[in-house]
Amino acid sequence: MPIKHPLISVNGVLDAAISPLDRGFTYGDGIFETCRYQSGEIPLWALHRDRLLGSASRLGIPLDESLLMAYLKPLLDEVRSSGINAAVVKIQVTRGIGGRGYRVPPEVAPTYCVGVFPAESLRSANFLNGVDVRVCTQRLAANKTLAGMKHLNRLEQILARAEWQDEYAEGLLMDESGHVIEATVSNLFVVKNGQLYTPDLSLCGVAGIMRRNLIERLAPSLSLRVEVVAMTLDFVCRADELFLCNSVYGIWPVNRIVDDTRSFLLASFGQHPITHQIQGMLEQSFALVD
């Protein structure tokens, strides 16, 4: 049974509003997690929790985990009681209400916003058939302090996504040095000579949960080695296989890379045997019921 209308609570109150003085609204001063709920649970919750707590600590936001769980549990209980098999759970934590100006208030009371939204089947057309992607002209700025975090300022990704309509499923993002970092909502893996490679995110990009799941769990279960490297576009285009990953949609094989500013096909990928093996492991780990 799908979710027809989002369920959203602010500090545990359904349909409450965010204050216009909230620093998440005024400055993007906060963090978020977007999780896939599947068959009664959030399968990757331990990894989401770890990144959420780590990011809050890095930003100096005093996140109260017990309070967050108290706000999250009633919404998950509602989803379970409704017999819904798949949903998207989004958690946003901001520094809370503050006055005008960048100075952090002396007393910080974080705002917790939890939402549950409809989700497509993991076995979507993109999951099964693969996708075409384009190379974005928007570049990612290096910022070691914020690298890896899923903070609330997503302007670079918004500008990149504005470069096309719906003719491509995703867009590849590079940094100012021309290294491929990620896609707008996805991480990237190259398969070459039976080994996996994924971009170095130490200076920019989001260290995605599905990326970590692949590195720490799925790839080792298939005896696949993963190497984190500085990755050029040429290296990506010379891959044997290429796939994108995200904690909500899972794993999408990439069929073609296009530079549509010059109407030029950069690379195409025919078969995806290792990608399909990893997809199979993901389905098993999610105890998939659609």
Looking at residue 3, its pLDDT comes to 58
Residue 100 has a pLDDT of 86
72: helix, strand or coil? helix
CATH 3.20.10.10 location in the chain: 125-285
- Cβ neighbours around 264 below 10 Å, total: 10
Share of the chain above pLDDT 90, in %: 88
Mean confidence (pLDDT) of the chain: 94
pLDDT for the residue 47: 97
Lowest mean pLDDT among 4-8, 144-148, 182-186, 207-211: 4-8
Catalytic residue from among 33, 94, 111, 182: 182
7-118 is classed in which CATH architecture?
Answer: 2-Layer Sandwich (3.30)
Retrieve residue 60's tokens.
């100096």
> Backbone phi, then psi, for 126, in 5-degree steps?
-65, -40
pTM strictly above 0.85: yes
Catalytic annotation present for 150:
yes
Nearest by Cα to 206 from 236, 245, 259: 245
- Is 33 a catalytic site residue? no
Tokens representing 166?
A: 């719906």
Active-site pick, 33, 34, 111, 184: 34
- Of the candidates 244, 197, 253, 249, the residue with the CA atom closest to the CA atom of residue 224: 197
For 2-50, the pLDDT digits (tens) are 555 689 999 999 999 999 999 999 999 999 999 999 988 999 999 999 9
For residue range 73-121, list pLDDT tens digits in order: 999 999 999 888 899 999 999 999 988 889 998 889 999 999 999 999 9
Instruction: Average the pLDDT over 230-239 and give the result.
Output: 97
Tell me, yes or no, if 216 is annotated catalytic: no
Please determine, looking at this structure, whether the domain spanning 125-285 carries the CATH number 3.40.50.720. Answer: no
Which residue blocks in 82-218 are alpha helix, DSSP H?
125-129, 155-161, 209-213
For CATH 3.30.470.10, the residue range(s) in the chain are 7-118
pLDDT digits (tens, 9 = 90+) for 132-142: 999 999 999 99
For tokens 């290296």, the residue is 235
Cα torsion 21, 27, 29, 32: sign: positive
Catalytic residue among 78, 120, 150, 232: 150
Answer for the pair 30, 61: CB distance below 8 angstroms, yes or no.
yes
Q: Are 14 and 8 in contact (CB under 8 A)?
A: yes
